[in-house]
Chains A and B, each alone.
Chain A
Amino acid sequence: MAHTPFERIWDRHVVKDYGDGRSLVFIDRHFLQEATSGRAFDRLRAENLPVRRPDLTVGTIDHSISTLPGRTLHSFAAGVARNVAMHKNCADFGVRLFSIDSPHHGIVHVAGPNLGFAIPGSTYVCGDSHTASCGGVGAWAWGIGTSEVMQVLATQSLILRKPRTMRATFNGRLSKGVYAKDMILALIGRYGIEAGVGHTVQYAGPAISALSVEGRMTVANMSIEFGARGGLVGADDTTFEYLHGRELAPKGAEWDRAVADWRRLYDLGDAMFDREIEIDCSTLGPQVSWGTTPQDVIGVNETIPDPSSIADPTRKAMTERAIDYVGLTPGTPIAGTPIDVAFIGSCTNGRLSDLEAAAAIAKGRKVAPHVKALVVPGAAHVKAAAEAAGLDKIFIEAGFEWREAGCSMCVAAGGDIVPPGQRSMSTSNRNFEGRQGPGSRTHLASPAMVAAAAIAGCIADVRTMMH
């Protein structure tokens, strides 16, 4: 049976096989963020251990900061201690930190690929569940807990059980008004939030190949919402074009050798996956979540599910609870549901192409008067590029707030919070109860769909606003 690209990556990173189903696996890249690394550094201090490979480790600050213009590390009171500790930890242990004054600052999963720190075939970890975003460039990337962050700092390795493999093939072509976000929401909606547990998913097929690297990152980003810690897209010419010349990417002759290696690594041949699933993108319309898990997804022209038509008692109870929490009526269309907040940003959809898609809808229009609308670029480089293209002016003229980079309202971070009972249309990744603040109600969708909802004042089919 021919190996899958993931299995080849696994094989070349095994330091030691313990012979009991566990292996010690070498970590090529470790990106730290302030919210999950504090206790890891505390343990290193207590043990008098150094960071084993500061040359393979970088850090940023993304969760605990205000995104208001003119912010400092001290603007968000609840984050000050963590931010100050992160500076001290990185200085004490010799870790390069891209803090808020760096042009490379940003949400960790937006900053990593942009730096060229994430490269194809690498093992790439971060103490954050959306690390699989970097699978968009062909890195095997996954989120880890704080104990594992500490272990990587100390040993540059992790004890792992080899995940099973799965290929999710996206067939067909996307129609206008349908984006990478709709692809991954549709996949999770169809197969469920547990389908990927224990697997590393390879996203493949013509609709994936046709995506930009940024779109591929959006798909891979939500691997964890599909249950999978890691998900990746095969590296190809699109990937190499994206990575070439980036600050921390290989250079010169090393680059050529690396690309040759990556092509071999990602040659699928007749690779056999443990599980194969597929999605037809040619019939896919804009998707929106209605409930409190990312599998509660429908097309924008569909209706809220009716629990009385569900036979399975657990599923019925879940649906009733979700509908009660989000305050919707079973059997009614989701389009037309009034919203209070529109959030464009996050590691899922905070990249330049996301802001471009939203700006194309916002241009020359106005945000509905009752809607609070935020655009939070995913990183400093995204903000700079957007401003160079005049997107900030489009958003501001339309009535959106234009912010500094950070995690922001995705996780009710840095003071950006959805008030109790309010309804948010959001480009982020989780619609869990309380995720955007106690009592917050979240609908997940693409940046264009969120811009459309901000303007209409309610959930709306973005295709009716496109020419």
Chain B
Amino acid sequence: MEKFTVLTGVAAPIAMPNISTDLIAPSHFPGKKPEEAIVMSFKDKLFANLRYFPDGTPKPDFVLDSPRYQGARILLTGENFGCGSSRETAVWSLQEAGIACVIAPSFGDIFHDNSFQNGFLPLRVPADDIDRLTKGLARTNASELTVDLEKRELRVSGMAPIAFDLPDNRRIPLMEGLDQLRFMLRSADDIAAYENRASTERPWSFAAAGG
């Protein structure tokens, strides 16, 4: 997995709370048949219901389609981003579109965990700070924001840096690009010992799938 240390890129604001994983990565594409939509890239389906009318014609005002936000790497958005379905395609779709970080006051639990599994940063930042960042970015032409995991701060030119909290058990694996499966496999002996113990204590919990 790619290491995430310092990211500088265009940050696009989507000022909307409760963006569900259904909205991020819809199972359908407006105006297309299911068998056409299923073979489309995740990137092309990203936010399709915010981006297109139900008949498939583009909406004129979707932020990621405006010239200013081409190549966006970061999203600034509202509370509870990624609520709903467990679909990991929500993370994969954002990544395929070049986005590596979403900054929001809060996140849906499953999306939040899925993000870290893919080296993608869902960064919790208070709404007031997001407002300040959005206003600061609106003043600059470049729209660029820096997310610095080493210093734990957000930087926009012309503004004082904004510090953020991220526990080390989230931050360090991201910075090291650690693959969680590899890490877990190191505990194989512990798992085997647990199985031996638990299958004696609670035999009814084992051999469940039947024949």
Contact = CB atoms under 8 A, between A and B. Distances in A.
Interface of A: 12, 15-16, 18, 20-22, 24, 26, 28-29, 35-36, 39, 43, 47, 52, 54-58, 76-79, 81, 95-96, 117, 119, 122, 127-129, 143-148, 150-151, 154-157, 159, 161, 193-194, 197-198, 224-225, 227-229, 247-248, 250, 254-255, 257-258, 261, 293, 314, 318, 321, 411-413, 415, 417, 420-421, 430, 432-435, 437-439
B54 A421 contact: yes
Given A15-B194, A55-B209, 8 more contacts: A16-B194, A117-B208, A155-B188, A229-B110, A430-B20, A430-B84, A433-B23, A435-B20
Contacts of A197: 80, 106, 108-109
Given A155-B188, A198-B109, A145 B198 contact: no
B191 A157 contact: yes
Contacts of B198: 12, 26
A41 to B, nearest CB: 13
For B34, B35, B185, B187, the residue with the greatest tally of chain A CB atoms inside 10 Å of its CB is: B34
B13 interface: no
A247 B117 contact: no
Contacts of B85: 128-129, 411, 430
Contact of B204 (A12, A119, A413): A119
A151 B203 CA distance: 23
Interface string B74-97: 000011100111111001000000
B76 to A, nearest CB: 14
B22 A154 contact: no
Nearest to B20: A432
Contact of A36 (B33, B86, B168, B194): B86
Given A15-B190, A412-B28, A432-B23, A314 B35 contact: no
Q: What range describes how many residues of B lie at the interface?
A: 35 or more
28 contacts: A18-B169, A21-B167, A26-B194, A28-B205, A47-B181, A55-B209, A56-B206, A56-B208, A117-B209, A129-B85, A145-B91, A146-B114, A147-B117, A147-B118, A148-B114, A155-B191, A156-B195, A193-B80, A224-B110, A254-B204, A257-B203, A258-B204, A261-B202, A415-B34, A434-B22, A439-B30, A439-B49, A439-B54
B160 interface: no
B26 interface: yes
Nearest to B50: A433
Interface in B42-69: 48-49, 52-55
B26 A314 contact: no
A318 B79 CA distance: 12
Given A55-B207, A76-B34, A148 B113 contact: yes
Contacts of B35: 77-78
Contact of A194 (B16, B79, B184): B79
Nearest to B202: A261
Contact of B110 (A143, A150, A156, A433): A143
A77 B35 CA distance: 6
A154 B181 CA distance: 8
A235 to B, nearest CB: 13
A430 to B, nearest CB: 6
B38 A78 contact: yes
B28 A438 contact: yes
For B83, B168, B205, the residue with the greatest tally of chain A CB atoms inside 10 Å of its CB is: B205
B185 A26 contact: no
Contact of B27 (A122, A128, A293, A412): A412
A441 B109 CA distance: 25
Contacts of B201: 12
B112 to A, nearest CB: 9
A212 B28 CA distance: 36
Contacts of A413: 27
B23 A434 contact: yes
A16 B20 CA distance: 33
Nearest to A94: B209
A448 B190 CA distance: 50
A435 B84 CA distance: 10
B184 A154 contact: yes
Contact of A144 (B83, B110, B181): B110
A157 B184 contact: yes
B17 interface: yes
A48 B127 CA distance: 45
A92 to B, nearest CB: 16
B37 interface: yes
B28 A417 contact: yes
B157 interface: no
B20 A78 contact: no
A16 B31 CA distance: 50
Given A224-B84, A261-B202, A412-B27, A145 B110 contact: yes
Given A36-B88, A432-B22, A20 B169 contact: yes
B202 A434 contact: no
Nearest to B36: A78
B5 interface: no
A439 B26 CA distance: 12
A214 to B, nearest CB: 22
A157 B134 CA distance: 40
B54 A154 contact: no
